[in-house]
Structure 1
Amino acid sequence: MVQFNDWCDCADEPVGNHFRRVLTGQTANRQTGVDATASVIPGHYASEERIARALARLGKPATAELIEGKLPTSKQIRSGDLGEIYATEWIDTQSGGFRALIKRLRWKDHRNMAMRGDDVIGMLEDPATHRLIFIKAEAKSRAKLTNKVLTEARQGLDKDGGLPSAHALAFIAERLLELGNEQLADSIDDAQLIDGIQPKDVRHLLFTFSGNAPEALLTAALKSYSGAIQQWAIGLHVDEHPLFVAAVYDQVIANANNT
């Protein structure tokens, strides 16, 4: 886990009926953030089982080559991937029980290509109704966050009537079947094809990772939303954003060679 609380200050604020949180990287604990992030990245690009099998069969040098071969070399793609990774990790650890069970970067067509479609989908079963509740997330990573970037994120969140896309849900269900989780795969199919997903069953997560302070921008984005879906805006602010991204991926490679 990334353990945001170990290297970030946290400030929460309600914005109307919505929720905003800003995580600010602590200068004194910057390396903690690099190390914590680097520790989870390999598992977002390749399954833990594949990495362990390669290590057992082929040894450390070949496993390090496998991991490094999965990592993007483009600075832009690294930044975008890391934003999506952080959104996934936040859902899994700080969203109140939602889980993003499929790490979709494992299925990239090419390591230096961005993936299309919904960035991250999280799920939680309502204990009272047994209906699935979904988080539909858009993750944006920029050295300088702007209103234009948040407008792009809003467009992504509002696609398909604000609901998770049929393609994204089918992709997740198929991957869950491959992993042997038939019950959850069936629940996704039931939600989509039998019960129908309603706006009340969805939360929107606007997740930003930026080198500038996101508070005012995220607040304005939440205030401008007039739809019926509950909104969460999470901003991770780390100074010298490009250098931090580079340090994280350098640490991943160093860790792989020292495994």
Structure 2
Amino acid sequence: MVQFKDWCDYNDTPVGNHYIRVMKGRGADAATAVQVTAKALPAHYAAEERIARALARMGKTKAAKLITDLLPQTAQIRSGDLGEIYATEWINAHSEYHAPIKRLRWGDHRDMAMRGDDVIGMILDPKTQRLSFLKTEAKSRAALKMKTLKEARAGLDKDGGLPSPHALSYIAARLMELGKDMPLVDAIDDALYSHGIAPDSVRHLLFTFSGNAPHVLLTKALQSYTGPIGQWGVGLHVDGHTAFVGAVYAKVIADANQP
């Protein structure tokens, strides 16, 4: 798990009824940031059990190739993937929601961007067995601009602002394949086919990972929203964004090939 507190300072700001958190990577802890991110990253591309099994069966060299073959090769896809990875890690560590799958494990191709809702966090009420949802759009840019946040808003507003039926069915199918969390699978099916999803059971998360300060842009983006769904904006600001992304993936490859 990426421990943001180990390498970031953060500031929370209310925007009306909404909320913004900006996390700023500390330059003095850049090496820590690369290290903890690189440690967490392989599990977003392959199950820990698969990596461990490959290591036991084939040895370090071939297991290392398994890991590196799953990683995207282009800088653009690496940047986008890392934005989604950070969003997933933040949801699981710093919100009451849980992202039940690591979506990048099921990518069509390592150098193709994933389609659909970026990440969906969920809370299953133990009494009612009904779900609350955190619909998330993650954007990663060396220089974040309002145009990108408008693209994210368009994604969040699709399907009436609710998680798309396709995205929820996708999550349920993956959980079934894994044989995990059957109560959550049932709750997803109930939301889709029995009682539906009410807007008041949904919150939006606009997550950005950028090389420039996101606070002003996120504030404008949340202030301009006039719909009924609660909004969170979380911005991770790391100086030297492009070099940082490259360093993270280089560290993953180096660690995989370490004797």
Deviation at 1:130, TM superposition (A): 3.2
- Map 1:129-148; keep pairs closer than 5 Å: 129-148=128-147
**1:116-175 C-alpha deviation (Å, 9 max, x unpaired):** 110001111234543200111000000000000000000000000000001100000011
Residue 172 of structure 1 aligns to a residue whose secondary structure is helix
User: Deviating runs (4+, > 4 A) in structure 1?
Assistant: none
Name the residue aligned to 2:256: 256
Unpaired runs of 5+ in structure 1? none
Residue 46 of structure 1 aligns to a residue whose secondary structure is coil
The answer to whether the aligner puts 1:19 opposite 2:28 as a matched pair is: no
- Identity over the aligned pairs, expressed in percent? 66
- Counterpart of 1:88, as a letter, is T
- Counterpart of 1:239, as a letter, is D
Q: What's the C-alpha RMSD, in Å, of the aligned pairs?
A: 0.9
Name the residue aligned to 1:201: 201
| Aligned mates of 1:219, 1:128 — CA distance in 2 | 36
- Map 1:115-134; keep pairs closer than 5 Å: 115-127=114-126, 129-134=128-133
Residue 239 of structure 2 aligns to a residue whose secondary structure is coil
Residue 251 of structure 1 aligns to a residue whose secondary structure is helix
Name the residue aligned to 1:170: 169
The answer to whether the aligner puts 1:73 opposite 2:80 as a matched pair is: no
Residue 114 of structure 1 aligns to a residue whose secondary structure is coil
Residue 144 of structure 2 aligns to a residue whose secondary structure is coil
Q: Is the 2:122–2:132 contact (alpha carbons within 8 Å) kept by the matching residues of 1?
A: yes
| Aligned mates of 1:210, 1:119 — CA distance in 2 | 17
Residue 225 of structure 2 aligns to a residue whose secondary structure is coil
Aligned length in residues: 258
TM-score normalised according to structure 2 size:
0.98
Name the residue aligned to 1:43: 43
| Aligned mates of 2:199, 2:125 — CA distance in 1 | 15
Name the residue aligned to 2:64: 64
The answer to whether the aligner puts 1:234 opposite 2:251 as a matched pair is: no
Residue 207 of structure 1 aligns to a residue whose secondary structure is strand
Q: Is the 2:124–2:184 contact (alpha carbons within 8 Å) kept by the matching residues of 1?
A: no
Residue 195 of structure 1 aligns to a residue whose secondary structure is coil
| Aligned mates of 2:195, 2:91 — CA distance in 1 | 25
Q: Is the 2:54–2:62 contact (alpha carbons within 8 Å) kept by the matching residues of 1?
A: yes
Q: Is the 2:98–2:122 contact (alpha carbons within 8 Å) kept by the matching residues of 1?
A: yes
Name the residue aligned to 2:109: 110
| Aligned mates of 1:203, 1:164 — CA distance in 2 | 10
- Counterpart of 1:131, as a letter, is R
| Aligned mates of 1:14, 1:126 — CA distance in 2 | 26
The answer to whether the aligner puts 1:85 opposite 2:85 as a matched pair is: yes
Q: Is the 2:209–2:236 contact (alpha carbons within 8 Å) kept by the matching residues of 1?
A: yes
Q: Is the 2:120–2:163 contact (alpha carbons within 8 Å) kept by the matching residues of 1?
A: yes
**Residues 12, 128 of structure 1: alpha-carbon distance in 2 compared, 3 angstrom cutoff:** farther
| Aligned mates of 1:131, 1:216 — CA distance in 2 | 36
Residue 171 of structure 1 aligns to a residue whose secondary structure is helix
Unpaired runs of 5+ in structure 2? none
Which moved further from structure 2: 127-136 or 174-183?
A: 127-136
| Aligned mates of 2:178, 2:197 — CA distance in 1 | 24
- Counterpart of 2:163, as a letter, is P
